[in-house]
Each structure stands twice: as C-alpha cells, then as structure tokens.
Structure 1
Amino acid sequence: MPKTEKIFSAKSLHYFLQLIDTMNYTQAAQILGITQPALTQQIKKLERTIGVPLFGQIGKKLYLTEAGKQLQTGAIRLLDTINSVVDDIQEFTQADKGTITIGMLENITTKILHLFLADFSKRFPDIKIKVRYFKREDLWHELDNNLIDLAIMYLPDNTKKNIVDLQQQYRYSEIYKDRIVVLTHKKDLESGKTYPVSALKDRKWVAYPEEFYLSQLMRDYFGNKHKMDVPISFSSTEQLVSTAEGNDYDTFINESYYEAHKKEITLTPVYLKPEKDFSVSLVYRKGKREVPRIENILAEFKNFLDNYKQSSKLEEK
C-alpha cells in the first residue's frame, strides 16, 4: 500500500479539521478524546507526507498556511464522500430506511396502489417513496438501466419481446386483471354486452396515442379490415371520456377506471369479442430482492393485496 494511503486516513483528516476549528492543540485534543502529543504526531505525519507545513505560528497563535488551506478543502470533500458512501451502504442494508422509486405506465390509475402506499408510509416513515409516470418504452428503459426500483404496467407486453426475455431478467406479480371497455353513443347496443368489432366499424374515436398499450389492443381487435378513424387523441383518460361525451365520438378505457367513475359516465359501456384480459402487474429486476427495503415493500404489498382481495370478497358476499 502506498505511503500516502496509510497516512491520509479518515481519522487523520478528521483530526486535522478539528484542529482548524479550534486552532489550539490542547482544546482539539480534548474534543477528540486523545492526548495532545498524539494529535501533534498525526499533524506532523501529514506535513511530512505533503512536504510542507500545514500550520504556521505567530507567538502562541496558530494559522493555516496556503498548503493547509488547500488540504482543508480536499479533506472536507473526501470526508463528505466517505460519509455519503457509508450512508448509502447502511441504507442498502436496512429494510426500513432509504428511497424506493416506482415507475407507472401513464394511463394506469390504481386505487389499490394509492391505498397501499399511504398505509406503507405510515408504518415505515423513514422510507421515501417516489412515483413517476412513463410511456411504455420509457418505462422499460428505466427498468433496464436500474433508474427505478419497481414498475406498474400492463402485461402481457410485446414492447421488448425481441430485446429481453421477461422470464429470465425480471420478476413480476399480478396486482389485478383488467380489460377494455368501449364507451359508445350507439343506441342499439346494450350496456354490458359483448359485440364483434364490426358493430363499431363505422364509428369515429377519441383514443389514446398510438404507442399506448390500450391503443395497441384496439388496433389488434380492428386489424387491417376495420381501420379505426381517430380524429382526436389524448393521453389523459379523463379527457378521453369528457371529449367523447361532448361529441358523437366513441372511446375506450380500462374497466378498472370505468368501475371507479361509472356514476359520472353517460356513455354506454360494451365489450368486444373475443374478450381479452390483461393484468396490471408489478415488475422488477431479479436482483432487486437482494435490497432489504425492496424485499420489505414487496412482502408488505403482497400481504396488503391478499387482505384487500379477502375484504373485497367479504363485501361482495
């Protein structure tokens, strides 16, 4: 090990900075809990290594030399870095501290997640939760590059089928099943019934942008034979519904949103044949479970979902 690495320890730099604070060997030694000769020896070692004095003296009064001022700046930076690394390591190894970043697909609104995060934050106040919203490709990019810890998205998703094998690189768990609900102005369609796409082939649509998951599913329904006529598109589900209601346009949303807002929606809800379920799922990289706070939130979320589903079944009965 090089000589400088042995002497420029965190301890010696701490002693050096403490002497600067007091500019008095006796006081600094008392604060540090060491003898004055021990402190003097540490400072002299630093000066021998650098090759120039760090402190000068006028009478009994100490002052910092130019070399001392430069070392002071470097020592503060080094100790800040060391402390930051130690904090990061301690945060990594603790289940009840740190930050968890959750990425969500733009048009997913899930009451369950909001309820869970509110409950989790009360019980683990030292864990900070950051929720950010993304488009599908951007959400996968964030996951791939470890910029977020967890993702809430629709599955199955073929966005990355030629790039990554979901089974090999990721873990995922289903939060709940969902499906598309078409909201239509057509008077001859009955609420809650299922129809072939041909029953809606001549309609104009307010739709999500083409890259959105639900838009892709609708294009799969219509295929090349019945191309959708989309004069207007929005990324906001609320704007989709309000615009469709204010015009003679139809639209489509996920069933979970409809169930949460059906009292406010005036359009007729119908389903398409064949019915295609998809799931809102929690997705994360395999290695994330090695982080205690991530393992903690995953376990807590599973327990919360189990209790929530059980409560829902009891309410239905």
Structure 2
Amino acid sequence: MTSSTQAPPAPPAAGGTGRTTIPPVKVGRAQTTFYWMVWPAVIAFFLFHTVPVLVGIFYSFTNYAGYGGWNFVGLSNYANLFKDDRILAAYGFSFLFAIAATILTNAISLAIAMGLNAKIMARNLFRGVYFVPYVLAALVIGYVFQFLFSSSLPKILSGIPLIADNILTNETWAWTAIVALAVWQACAFTIIIYLSGLQTIPRELYEAASLDGAKPWRQFSSITFPLISAFFTINVVLSLKGFLQVFDQIVALTNGGPGTATESVTLLIFRGGFSGGEFAYQSANAVIFFIVITIVSLFQFKVLQRREADF
C-alpha cells in the first residue's frame, strides 16, 4: 500500500515575508484628480458669483445709473435708503410675507411628514406626489395659480366676496394669494427634511411612551419635536431666508401690484436696478438686504440651537 504525498508549499520569494503585499496608493495622482475636479468649480464660482458681488458693492458708492458715466458719492446711497418710503414698505411686506409663509410651511409640512412617516399604504407614492411642486418651475406654476385666482375661483366660489372680486386686485389681501402659492411649493422640500428627521427616531420610544399612558400630543412634545429640533432649525432658517427673497411668485401673480402693495425687496431691486436707472442705488439696497438676511439667519441659528441644547 502506498500513501499519497502532497507537494510542499512553494517557499516565499527571497527577502519576502510570505504575506501578500498591497501596492501603495498613488497619493499624488489622487490629489491631482481632486484638484482638477475642484478648481474649475472654484474658478467658476469666483467669476460668476464673487466678482459680480464685488462689482455691485463698488458701484453702490457711486451714482451709476446702469449706463453712461458715474462719480463717487460715498455713503449717500445708503443714507437715502432709510429715507425712502417705498423701500421701507418693501422691507415691511417682505418680512410680513416671509414670517407668515415660514410658519404655515413648517406647520403644514411637519403634519404631512408625520402622516407619511406612519405605517400607511403607498406612502412612498405619496412622498413622490408631495415632492412634485418642488421640481416644477415657479413661474409656470405661478401663472397657473394666477389663472386660478383670477378666473376659476371667482366662478366656483362666487358666494365669497373676497374671492369673487379677484383677490389679486385687492390691495389688502393680495399678499395672501402669494403666500398660498409659496407655501404650496415650499412644503415639498420641507416635508423631505422632516421625514429624514422622523425616520431617525426609534419606534421603541413611542411604544414605551404608550405603555406609560402618554397621549399623542404628549408624545409629540416630549419625543418627536425634541428629537427633530435640529431638522426644525434647518427648515426654519432656510424657509425664512428663501421667503425673504421672494420674486418669481410675485411676478407671476401680481407683478408687485395692485400699485406697490405686493412689491418685495428683490422685485424692487430688479425693477429699479435694471430698468429704472437706479443701478447704484439698488446695489446699495442689495448690500443692505444681504446684511439683513445674514443677521436674521445668524440670530435664528443662535436662538434655535440654544433650544436644541435645552432639549
């Protein structure tokens, strides 16, 4: 009887350790690829964003009308802004609109997100449906709503005087139609953010709270809202910042009218700067508006993040 023998393993190469070696990563090539990808974006951002901003700041200290020559006027444009009733009215409208739209957007979006986060049938389908308004062009949707408010609703709801007379022509209430359009479109993105936050909350917390006898409102105030407070902060800051810069919805629905009742700061800057011969003056207005939005956003972060820490 003969026994089979196995060939001995091949010895490692001379000077080797017997282990498989991994070739070193070529760091230099990776860094080169990274720079080739990043630098074009940085250069494009600088040319198409930073340079125009710096040019606008420069012209804000002049009397440039958008054509012809110009002279330095120092801070006179900035001083005149605080004496201009039309600009002050535009700031008042912008803040009124932004605050109302921010509150409604976040309240409605959070309620819808909580419904979508529950165990309901076809919730993924509903998520897609609710996100549709965000991907549609604001001007296109604005013109659809303009037809709705000016032609359809006055016939359908002819018994309501405010709507029957075309709310878009009412100086006192025209802004509410713009709020309705802006909130309808903004809720899409806000719902997605809230859904992301709600999905981070373990179901076990609600089960434990239910066993302890906590009612739905108690669960919301003690579990849901504290745990999504960071998402709430992001949504509120982004909503208020975006609504302060409202432009497309106003152009589509009222174009700033009746009169100047719905004229926002951004619409005023566009009108005066590009067609009103006030390029330098409205450039100064844009600088002030940028500072105002920055201060408001930082204040929101400070207050809301402190609330997160308290939770």
TM-score when scaled to structure 2? 0.22
TM-score (norm 1): 0.22
Higher Cα radius of gyration: 1
